[in-house]
Structure 1
Amino acid sequence: MIGLANAGGELSAHNVRDIVAALDAGLNVASGLHQRLDSVAQITEAARRSGRALFDARSFPYQLSVGKGLPRPGRRLLTVGTDCSVGKMYTTLAIERELRKRGIPADFRATGQTGILIAGSGVPIDALVADFISGGAEWLTPGREDDGWDLIEGQGSLFHPSYAGVSLGLLHGAQPDALVLCHEPLRPHMRGLPHYSLPSLKATLESNLQQARLTQPDVVAVGIALNTSRLTPQAAIDACKAAEDALGLPCEDPVASGVERITNQLLQCFPR
């Protein structure tokens, strides 16, 4: 496995050397970068002579149409965040697990390279041509009639200058009935941008709800997921309590305490 998350998604010279060595040692190679493995001659030659496979998680072989914004049956939840890498994927997986534990049909829908490797399928939403981002989200989550949930892995943040476009397209295409807001309390600034501070939880939630209403006017927020891994146990409890008081929603750390209360809120808002 090579290069799952670097800015710009390009292979470096040392990446190429490592990949060639891995292929010559008899290993298959998977990459999550934007630059395709087969775009480098040394890599394709090493794969040919070793008979090994190359897998690009951000490659999407299917034809997409632009998003239509037409209502479709089924329920969908999307995780959104104050920033990149604040726990959206893990939170989505945790809610899928909790719903299934309760006997409710639920499916994790991967939109990023790591999620695709976990799920075995998905749409690399940030690798699509911009006009097709919302269409890609619609393709990923077609209508369902089993009273179940599509749980859609969020990407980026509406407040991140580098990735807000992807976040917005995904938000429109997902047509989410429910949002869960993800946040890391001690993060000093937007990831990779020290000159941009993080938005408040309230501003982030209000903005996501406003934008989501374009394609799903009845969208509601059902919870807050905090990544409290850098807090003491008491500070984590205090941070969750402060978030609950500020937004009036259940707040949990999906790793430390699970997502039972968030799921309770979801099912209260959307009874079967």
Structure 2
Amino acid sequence: MNKAIILTNGLLTTNDAKTAHGLIRGTERYDIVGVIDPPTAGRDAGEVLDGKVRNIPIFDSLQNAVTTLQQIDYLIIGVATTGGVLPKDMLDIIQSAIRYRISIVNGLHEYLNEKPEIVALANENNVQLIDVRKPKSRKDLHFWTGEIYEVTAPIIAVLGMDCALGKRTTARMVRQACEAEGINARMIYTGQTGWLQGGEYGFVVDSTLNDFVSGEVEHAIVSCWKETNADVILIEGQSSLRNPSGPCGLEFLISGNAKNVILVHSPKRSYFDNEPHWGKIPSVESEVEIIEKFGSEVIALALNTEECAESEAFEYQKYYVEKLQIPVLLPLEEGVGELMPTLRRLADFTGHTINR
């Protein structure tokens, strides 16, 4: 794989760096060899993220990274800011990387290919500018057809109560756990980080014309099912059903025909995006009720235990098990193995044979 370094430039320990967090946890598209983040320089990126050493060093500057590492093919902008705006303090670093003949991968809405000076510099140094979130052309978009109803494999949407809760990470962990048990699980990516992690089937929701979101969901699922004979199909959720800054999820339940849901919740987060003026996050019970009204079933709750002591995490797990009577997962603490019997039952019920 091509070797890549992630640029967070002071944001690594914030929710804005969720793209970096996903890549640090794993990607099949790149070999992550370092992170540029001055405040945490000298540490291991995995240890900073969740206490697990992953042998990914953090550097205080691009120059030090280039001097230390033998090869860097790509610089990945590892942040997802509000509105997808490129932080101004990253522009000089990007230009320096181009002069080092390092290609740039950008997952923001502010496209590098629309900056003439950056394009000229990239051409001069013969490097790529990859804007992951650049919308597809009209000819490459799909309209919804109803073909989704032919899919016999269970379709599971991983939805959240808010943004940046770990929906993609949970979906990826479930896929990996299935693979370990001989279940052919596939994940539909719906954001730029899913693609950066090596996603084969999917699209970027917030770069897609609204008329075609339903069709792109359907096309990704149907293509995946036909081409891989998947036992289980997971859809990475975006935002949440009731986040006022960008409600999302009903497309996956209705147009994607996801009759099963893994819901992700952070017990200690009170407000959408931690912004009190955006409103309080409703109760898990009310979210489950809404999902059920649309004909889908919540088969598990996954807890993001940010701001929780270890004992609190397990207390919340016990509380929600008693409240909801469904598996309650602590993905980072315990993994997602508890969900495997449920997934096997779902696949057996639909008549989709699992390799045992």
TM-score normalised over the length of structure 1: 0.90
> Max radius of gyration: which structure?
2
Match status 1:57 vs 2:135: no
- Which residue of the other structure, out of 99, 114, 117, is the alignment partner of 1:42? 117
**Aligned to 1:191, what secondary structure does the other structure show?**
helix
Q: Which residue of 82, 103, 118 corresponds with 2:161?
A: 82
**1:1-272 paired onto structure 2 within 5 Å:** 1-2=76-77, 4-61=79-136, 63-70=140-147, 71-73=149-151, 74-121=153-200, 122-142=202-222, 144=225, 146=229, 148-164=231-247, 166-191=248-273, 193-195=275-277, 196-211=279-294, 213=295, 219-271=296-348, 272=353
Q: Is the 8 A contact 2:237 2:249 kept in 1?
A: yes
The CA distance in 2 between the partners of 1:120 and 1:250, in whole Å, is 27
Query: Superposition RMSD on alpha carbons, in Å?
Result: 1.9
| Deviation beyond 4 Å, 4+ runs, structure 1 | none
Secondary structure of 1:224's counterpart equals: strand
Cα pair 2:186 2:234 within 8 Å, conserved: yes
Q: What code does the residue aligned with 2:159 have?
A: V
Aligned 8 A contact 1:222 1:266 in 2: no
Relative to structure 1, the CA distance from residue 33 to residue 100 in structure 2 (aligned partners, 3 Å threshold; closer, same or farther) is same
Q: CA deviation at 1:120?
A: 4.2
The structural deviation recorded for 1:159 is: 1.0
Shift of 1:168: 2.6
Q: Deviations over 1:51-99 (max 9, x none)?
A: 1111122135461222234412122111011101111011101110111
Contact 2:154 2:346 in 1 (8 A): no
Percent identical among aligned pairs is 28
Q: What SS does the aligned partner of 1:8 have?
A: helix
Pair 1:230–1:12, CA change in 2 (3 A): closer
Q: Which amino acid is 2:186 matched to?
A: D
Cα separation, 2, equivalents of 1:177 and 1:233: 33
| 1:138–1:174 Cα contact (<8 Å) kept | yes
The separation in 1 between residues aligned to 2:87 and 2:312, in whole angstroms, is 40
Q: Any conservation in 2 of the 1:81–1:204 contact (CA below 8 Å)?
A: no
Deviations 1:79-131 (A, max 9, x none): 01110111101110111011111111111221111111002443111110111
Where is the helix percentage greater, Structure 1 or Structure 2?
2
Measured against aligned partners, the alpha-carbon deviations of 1:228-262 in whole angstroms (never above 9, x if no partner) come to 14212221111011111221111011111011112
SS at structure 2 position matched to 1:256? helix
**Larger RCO, structure (CA 8 Å, separation 6 or more):** 1
Instruction: Give the structure-2-normalised TM-score.
Output: 0.70
SS in 1 for 2:333: coil
User: What SS does structure 2 have at the residue aligned with 1:134?
Assistant: helix
From the superposition, tell whether residues 56 and 192 of structure 1 become closer, same or farther in structure 2 (CA, over 3 Å).
Answer: farther
Which residue identity does 1:156 align to in structure 2?
A: S
For residues 314 and 176 of structure 2, the distance between their equivalents in structure 1, rounded to whole angstroms, comes to 23
Whether the aligned pair in 1 keeps the contact of 2:187 and 2:199 (CA below 8 Å) is no
